[in-house]
Amino acid sequence: MTEARVTALRGVELNVFNLDESAEFYSKVWGLEFVAREGGVMYLRGGGAEHHILTLHEAPRASLHSINFAAQDARGVDALHAKMVGLGVEIVAAPKARSEIAGGGYGFSLRTPEGQVLTVSAGVSKQEHVFNDSSKPVKLSHIVLNVADIDKQNSFFCDTLGFRLSDSTERMDFVRCSSDHHSIALARGHGAGLNHMAYEVPSFDGLMRGAGRMKHGGYNIEWGVGRHGPGNNIFSYFVEPNGFVTEYTAEVEQIDEATHMAGMPEYWAKKMPMPDRWGMSMPSQRLREAMSGKFTEERNLRCEDIISRKMAG
């Protein structure tokens, strides 16, 4: 029977002020590969089979545009859409063939209670050739959202979209839609927004080589290299040209549905007094500010200034 739930994270879509600058960063430094460009929209892929994992939209302000998920098949898309309609969820686009999108497929879009647009699709073309460079991302691993009301957002992802709670700490709830420990995490504080996005690389060595490429490209590691508690994943965090936080991650815990028990905040507070299992690193102040959206907002103000000066002649 077709399940009315999300089955995997596909990718993320970002609004960016300068498309060429962002495309150069994500292809030459971050390690993605160009797939297609249609007007002011650019598609980039990782080394895995997903058609594209990052979509860049040229826009006056940088922001999270949307997050893309997979359903089992077209019937799964329709079943999930019917469930959303029944629950009164805001539908942004009804189910349809997505012929205007690179990779095509069939899908619909909805809005979370805190305003993020999520697209759920099936039947998207796959990449046949996979990369053989462990320093480059294979796929999008997870998105962390800042939330104003964590109970409401947790309930939306779990009860409405079919995610399951993997772990909960004082700061965050980690929820999964596949065997990956988390595809979405919800961070308390800062109001609604994008906290960070994480891309999976195939190995620890690959993560170190990717981090080295970033360092030589002028991007310091703002947190890491370290290993998280929930998810047990290795991490290194950076701030990209739009002020968004981006992470290389590896060795993400794979969940066994038959045996996994979610750890609650008291458990994690006792087990993990430090946010890095190795006790090696703490997030920089700059990273904390970037995770709150501060640098993206500052850059947006500068871009608005440029636009208004241009209009004034």
Judged by CB, which is closer to Fe ion: 180, or 247? 247
Judged by CB, which is closer to Fe ion: 12, or 198? 198
Q: Is the peptide bond before 138 cis (omega within 30 degrees of 0)?
A: no
Kindly identify the residues of this chain, within the stretch 35-64, that bind Fe ion according to CB under 5 A. none
What is the pattern of x (binds Fe ion, CB under 5 A) and - over residues 68-97? ------------------------------
What is the pattern of x (binds Fe ion, CB under 5 A) and - over residues 205-244? ----------------------------------------
Closest contact distance (angstroms) between CB of 249 and Fe ion is 6
Amino acid at 121: S
Judged by CB, which is closer to Fe ion: 118, or 198? 198
Closest contact distance (angstroms) between CB of 170 and Fe ion is 16
Closest among 258, 184, 196 to 223, alpha carbons compared? 196
Judged by CB, which is closer to Fe ion: 247, or 253? 247
Is 9 a binding residue for Fe ion by CB under 5 A? The answer is no
Kindly identify the residues of this chain, within the stretch 136-155, that bind Fe ion according to CB under 5 A. none
3-state helix, strand, coil in the chain (%, to 5): 25, 35, 40
Judged by CB, which is closer to Fe ion: 8, or 91? 8
Q: Which two tokens stand for residue 102?
A: 């690179």
Closest contact distance (angstroms) between CB of 144 and Fe ion is 6
In b/e form, how buried is each residue of 134-171, taking b as 16+ CB within 10 angstroms? bbbbbbbbbbbbbbeebeebbebbbebbbbbbbbbbee
Q: Which two tokens stand for residue 111?
A: 């809005």
Question: Sheet of 234-239: strands edge to edge?
Answer: 164-168, 172-176, 184-188, 139-147, 193-200, 245-250, 234-239, 223-227
Closest contact distance (angstroms) between CB of 235 and Fe ion is 6
Contact (CB, 8 A) for 207 and 225:
yes
Phi, psi of 168 (to 5 degrees): -140, 130
Kindly identify the residues of this chain, within the stretch 246-285, that bind Fe ion according to CB under 5 A. 247
The span from the CA of 300 to the CA of 62, in Å, is: 6
* 21-29, 76-84, 108-116, 195-203 -> range binding Fe ion (CB under 5 A): 195-203
Is 198 a binding residue for Fe ion by CB under 5 A? The answer is yes
Whose tokens are 């995997």? That residue is 8
Is 290 a binding residue for Fe ion by CB under 5 A? The answer is no
Closest contact distance (angstroms) between CB of 232 and Fe ion is 12
* 18-26, 168-176, 198-206, 207-215 -> range binding Fe ion (CB under 5 A): 198-206
| Secondary structure (3-state) at 176 | strand
Q: For binding to Fe ion (CB under 5 A), which residues are involved?
A: 198, 247
